[in-house]
Amino acid sequence: MPPTLDGVENGSYPYWQTEYAYTYGEPPADSAAAFLRYLTDQGGKDVLRQYGNRPCSGTRYPLVCRPT
């Protein structure tokens, strides 16, 4: 089954994954912290859209993107 945005929206593409990032304490600003901010801010979302993808929060049912 091809992974298309339509398939995600209508539920016919069943695979999705929530990624977790763990740190031991607060990471230094010049390390993983910057990358984690990038993944969750508008810049990271814009890069996803630039390549024809969509951040989970931008789908029709964004709550299914949260872990259970």
Give the burial class of 39: count Cβ atoms within 10 A of its Cβ; 0-12 exposed, 13-18 middle, 19 or more buried. Answer: middle
Question: What's the pLDDT at 68?
Answer: 55
Instruction: Evaluate if residue 63 carries a pLDDT over 60.
Output: yes
Question: What's the pLDDT at 50?
Answer: 92
Q: How far apart are CA 49 and CA 35, in angstroms?
A: 18
Instruction: Evaluate if residue 67 carries a pLDDT over 60.
Output: no
Dump pLDDT digits (tens) for 7-23: 777 777 777 666 777 88
